[in-house]
């Protein structure tokens, strides 16, 4: 301990806090090699925010008013509207997923992938229904806004995510140079001197011996 100067009016000198070296235990503190922040262009987040808002609006409208699309296209309303309301619920859940992925699109690329697959299979199913004569052509009035306009931005997000994952994979050999946790457990703790509060500080002989040991 060291004696410090007491402020005016105090009874006596103040005792400085004891010196405790900062120790890092490799087997407790895992190495951070290979852990990178997922940086992404701003347009990706804006795109997913727009997709989330649109799908929540479309899904909510369909749940509350399941006949709106049929009234818009002049088709006969569904006999069992609750089935169409379930479709609206699914679309709304997609919107929640897009809003969640907007914070970090490259890290949450599986959500984008699932969305893109749905936007590809949906139009394919519509085209198959047209060819078979089981789906009215007017039913595809919302295909451009529901599916087609999202193909390119979603595909670009997935492409960027694939490139980033490749960069991380290329850096993995660096992380393999670190010792395995079992090997680190056998070694001593790595200790560093505490911050200076004034005057010179030295480590204890035991800690200093660890620092200079081979």
How much is the pLDDT for 75?
86
How much is the pLDDT for 193?
53
How much is the pLDDT for 165?
84
Name residues of the chain where pLDDT drops below 70: 1-38, 170, 172-214
**Residues 6 or more apart from 34 whose CB is under 8 A from it?**
168, 171, 172, 174, 175
How much is the pLDDT for 139?
87
How much is the pLDDT for 90?
96
- Whole-angstrom Cα distance, residue 185 to residue 72? 69
Which among 109, 115, 144, 143 has a CA at the least distance from the CA of 52? 115
How much is the pLDDT for 195?
52
How much is the pLDDT for 49?
97
How much is the pLDDT for 5?
54
* Alpha-carbon separation of residue 211 from 23, 24, 56, 69, 85 (angstroms): 11, 12, 59, 74, 68
How much is the pLDDT for 86?
96
How much is the pLDDT for 166?
83
How much is the pLDDT for 125?
95
How much is the pLDDT for 7?
53
**Residues 6 or more apart from 141 whose CB is under 8 A from it?**
69, 72, 73
């Amino acid at each position: 301990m060291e004696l410090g100067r007491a402020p005016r009016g105090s009874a006596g000198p103040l005792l400085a806090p004891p010196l405790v070296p900062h120790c890092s235990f490799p087997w407790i503190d895992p190495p951070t090699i290979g852990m990178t922040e997922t940086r992404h262009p701003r347009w990706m987040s804006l795109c997913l925010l727009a997709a989330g808002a649109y799908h929540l609006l479309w899904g909510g409208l369909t749940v509350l008013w399941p006949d709106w699309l049929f009234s818009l296209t002049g088709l006969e309303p569904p006999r069992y509207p609750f089935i169409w309301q379930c479709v609206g619920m699914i679309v709304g859940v997609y919107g929640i997923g897009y809003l969640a992925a907007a914070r970090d699109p490259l890290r949450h690329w599986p959500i984008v992938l699932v969305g893109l697959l749905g936007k590809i299979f949906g139009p394919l199913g519509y085209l198959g229904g047209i060819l078979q004569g089981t789906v009215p052509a007017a039913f595809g009035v919302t295909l451009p806004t529901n599916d087609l306009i999202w193909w390119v931005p979603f595909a670009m997000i997935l492409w960027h995510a694939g490139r980033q994952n490749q960069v991380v994979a290329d850096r993995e050999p660096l992380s393999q140079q670190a010792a395995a946790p079992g090997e680190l457990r056998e070694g001593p703790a790595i200790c560093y001197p505490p911050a200076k509060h004034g005057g010179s500080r030295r480590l204890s002989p035991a800690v200093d011996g660890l620092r200079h040991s081979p």
